[in-house]
Amino acid sequence: MISASSCFVFLPISFFMECLLSLLLFLNLCSTVDKFEVIVPLVPVVADEGSDIVLPCKLSPQTSVIGMHVRWFRQKFSEYVYLYKDKMETVGSGYEGRASLFSTELEKGNVSLLLKEVKISDEGPYKCHVSRLESFAEPQLQLTVKRQGSVPLIEVEKLEKDSLKLRCSSQGWYPEPQMVWMDKKG
Ligand SMILES: *[C@@H]1O[C@H](CO)[C@@H](O)[C@H](O)[C@H]1NC(C)=O
């Protein structure tokens, strides 16, 4: 009689516990696979050669990335510009002393990359990869680099009786500039 009643009581409890457990597991799963969005500018970031530039990238909603995997890379995932993983940072080859994140911003979900002394060869697309377990996002932004060339110089190349040939020259522009001859009226 006693064993029967205890058995009767035992079954519903175990059933209930199992439900609770699976519910907890489910909730836990949901919170570890929680979704975040990674946001970068849609318009190109423009930098002058030799200047320092910030490539903006942030998580939305604001989520701390401490303990997450953050990787800035260009074409190849393995050839990173900057890597933050297992709370350690590694700077990619060619970017030594030039690439960093803002350490105090990481808990605010701001993983913008500071790139110093920008080179013409830095121009191109960059991916901001952020992942945690199965969740990841890696939007792409474009860095455009420009360089102002020398002041145009106008010289007389050929002087004839009724004509004049002028030459205009300027060096060092990037990207290649357009040259337009104008008179007083524009
Ligand atoms: C991220 O941090 C950098 C450096 O402090 C700052 O310039 C930038 O505005 C921050 N971005 C956001 C979205 O807060």
Mean pLDDT calculated for residue range 102-111: 96
- The whole-chain average pLDDT of the chain stands at 86
- pLDDT above 90 as % of the chain: 72
pLDDT tens, residue by residue, 152-183: 999 998 889 899 999 999 999 999 999 899 98
Structure tokens at 63: 């989520």
Atom of ligand 1 nearest to the CA of 108: 14
pLDDT tens, residue by residue, 61-101: 999 999 899 999 999 999 999 999 999 999 999 999 999 99
Residue 21 predicted with pLDDT over 60: no
The DSSP annotation for 105-123 comes to: GGGGTB-PEEE-S--GGG-
Cα distance between residue 45 and residue 142, in whole Å: 6
The DSSP annotation for 12-80 comes to: HHHHHHHHHHHHHHHHHHHHHT---EEE--SSPEEEETTS-EEE--EEES----TTSEEEEESS-TTSE
Residue 127 predicted with pLDDT over 60: yes
Residue 46 predicted with pLDDT over 60: yes
- Supply the pLDDT for residue 135: 85
75 CA from centroid of ligand 1 (Å): 25
> Domains, the chain, ranges and CATH?
37-146 (2.60.40.10)
Residue 130 predicted with pLDDT over 50: yes
Burial of 173 (0-12, 13-18, 19+ CB in 10 A): middle
Atom of ligand 1 nearest to the CA of 110: 1
In the chain, what are the helix, strand and coil shares in percent, each to the nearest 5? 20, 35, 40
Atom of ligand 1 nearest to the CA of 56: 11
- Supply the pLDDT for residue 15: 55
Whether the CB-CB separation of 114 and 103 falls below 8 Å is answered with no
- Supply the pLDDT for residue 3: 35
- Supply the pLDDT for residue 84: 97
Mean pLDDT calculated for residue range 103-113: 96
Atom of ligand 1 nearest to the CA of 112: 1
From 112, 115, 128, the mutation candidate for ligand 1 (largest count of ligand atoms within 8 A of CB) is 112
Query: Which range among 7-21, 83-97, 106-120 shows the weakest confidence by mean pLDDT?
Result: 7-21
Whether the CB-CB separation of 143 and 85 falls below 8 Å is answered with no
* Beta bridge mates, 166: 156
From 70, 72, 101, 105, the mutation candidate for ligand 1 (largest count of ligand atoms within 8 A of CB) is 105
Whether the CB-CB separation of 131 and 32 falls below 8 Å is answered with no
From 37, 38, 39, 54, the mutation candidate for ligand 1 (largest count of ligand atoms within 8 A of CB) is 54
114 CA from centroid of ligand 1 (Å): 10
- Supply the pLDDT for residue 171: 94
- Supply the pLDDT for residue 86: 92
Question: Ligand 1 site: residues with CB under 6 angstroms?
Answer: 54, 56, 58, 102, 105, 110, 112
112 CA from centroid of ligand 1 (Å): 7
Radius of gyration of the chain (CA): 30
3-state secondary structure of 82: strand
**End-to-end CA, the chain:** 109
Say which residue, 26 or 17, is predicted with more confidence. 17
